Structure 1
């Protein structure tokens, strides 16, 4: 782990995987995860010659809390990490709750992004014309309703449900369990989740509040970088309607729908997406 200081004296915890002199790719983890979240077989990064850079968003793992943050604030954090690591232009992608944070950087720093991708990403909570909770599992629906009432209401919901006692597997619907039962996925998710909530729940609450209760702070329509938006049509964690909205809003986006996949289908989709990110193929 590497600790990088921000201009406002916060710490961002960074981890690197794969080939350290390889093609740099930045990854934004899901919610609630940490810098330890990634594709569960690290040989993928070495086979592709990828230097994967992951980091804890504020309040997760070893990164300093940043109360009141919105999705757009991730852009400056990613820029700080890239500057410290000597990265000029690079591709990046985000899974689930990390998707909007990857898009934030592409919107703010288009000159530094070669390609950007999201997998199973939500759309903004104020997305025009989108019924945000339609087809969504009950836990996320309840969180979104609470977040729209304010961070305090969301924190109260977390306290009521004692979310910290959950495991990554129990947070997702039964349809996702076949993927989550794979030993390598269990090991990776267990470690990534434990690290995410190690300092407490505030990072998780802030992340959900930024995703479910606040405007993102940028318009995806302004993204000019080549983009791909992947989503499983059977996803009830974040319904596929979110991906359709994003792909329709981002002028450079290509939508990829997997008719058989749910939320955890992003694991199977990651190798092809990584190849596109580094080669355009």
Structure 2
């Protein structure tokens, strides 16, 4: 069910999944993403016994845009959401672009965060020097971050083109999530035949690119905290078929004081078994 919270003059939209009386977890989505989760993810959450609160960051899904926000600014929103639900202590997880935001909360709200799980996360990029090529060995040197560091007018066209490509594939009969060659599964049905899938895709890629733009500008500028400040137990998850995430995971482990590397079979998007194990790891912090 959709909810909203007002923070000063902004609206923050979010959903709650799982057991309302279960151990609380704040889950921060990727870049881009939506608070509306796919049925397979919802089932896994329900089976975990946890209560997951999933917000749309500013600029996504009807949450008021906050131009110029930093990665660290998410801590204010997460604290307000936790206060609204009387959660004194809670766990955190963040996937892909949600990873830096989860780590920000872990660093800046240490008295309230029990543990933090990051899947397919990133580190601060390297944005100086010439435009990166496609064969950069260091994932921190990438074209997306390089363009984002130079302003909205440079990065927005890249996302508009990506949206055209993604939605064209959907209109041609493609699934909501492209098949993962590293996690064999039965062919998924065409997303265009599923109204809920199309609603998720539209919210993620079509309605607005503001959140996507602002996330990436925030990644390419000062995050507002140091990775070394994350003192809570932290797990860094990465897929065996996601070379870029593996390289980032090693970089994160070198910076985070209490990081545990957790590989899983699959690609960038966690398959159900890995997601289930991640939720179990978060739950173990409440025992």
Aligned residues: 271
Distance 1:121 1:175 in 2: 20
User: Does residue 278 of the first structure (1) align with residue 283 of the second (2)?
Assistant: yes
The answer for unaligned runs of 5 or more in structure 2 is none
**Which has the greater radius of gyration?**
2
Instruction: Map 1:38-117 to 2 at 5 A.
Output: 40-117=40-117
Contact 1:40 1:184 in 2 (8 A): no
Label 1:106 to 1:183 Cα distance change in 2 as closer, same or farther (>3 A).
farther
Which secondary structure does the structure 2 equivalent of 1:94 belong to? Answer: strand
> How far does residue 6 in structure 1 lie from its aligned partner after superposition?
1.0
Correspondence for 1:250: 256
Label 1:217 to 1:179 Cα distance change in 2 as closer, same or farther (>3 A).
farther
> How far does residue 183 in structure 1 lie from its aligned partner after superposition?
5.3
Contact 1:180 1:264 in 2 (8 A): no
Correspondence for 1:194: 202
What per-residue deviation string (whole Å, max 9, x for no partner) do you get for residues 140-186 of structure 1? 94322311322221123334x26256248699797479569545999
Correspondence for 2:238: 231
More off after superposition, 89-98 vs 41-50: 41-50
> How far does residue 3 in structure 1 lie from its aligned partner after superposition?
1.0
Higher helix share: 1
What per-residue deviation string (whole Å, max 9, x for no partner) do you get for residues 82-123 of structure 1? 111111101110111111111110110000001101011111
Distance 1:254 1:80 in 2: 29
The answer for unaligned runs of 5 or more in structure 1 is none
Correspondence for 1:209: 217
Label 1:162 to 1:251 Cα distance change in 2 as closer, same or farther (>3 A).
closer
Which secondary structure does the structure 2 equivalent of 1:255 belong to? Answer: strand
User: Does residue 262 of the first structure (1) align with residue 267 of the second (2)?
Assistant: yes
Question: TM-score of the superposition, structure 2-length normalised?
Answer: 0.82
Distance 1:108 1:61 in 2: 25
Contact 2:176 2:197 in 1 (8 A): no
> How far does residue 36 in structure 1 lie from its aligned partner after superposition?
1.0
Distance 2:240 2:103 in 1: 21
Distance 1:179 1:78 in 2: 35
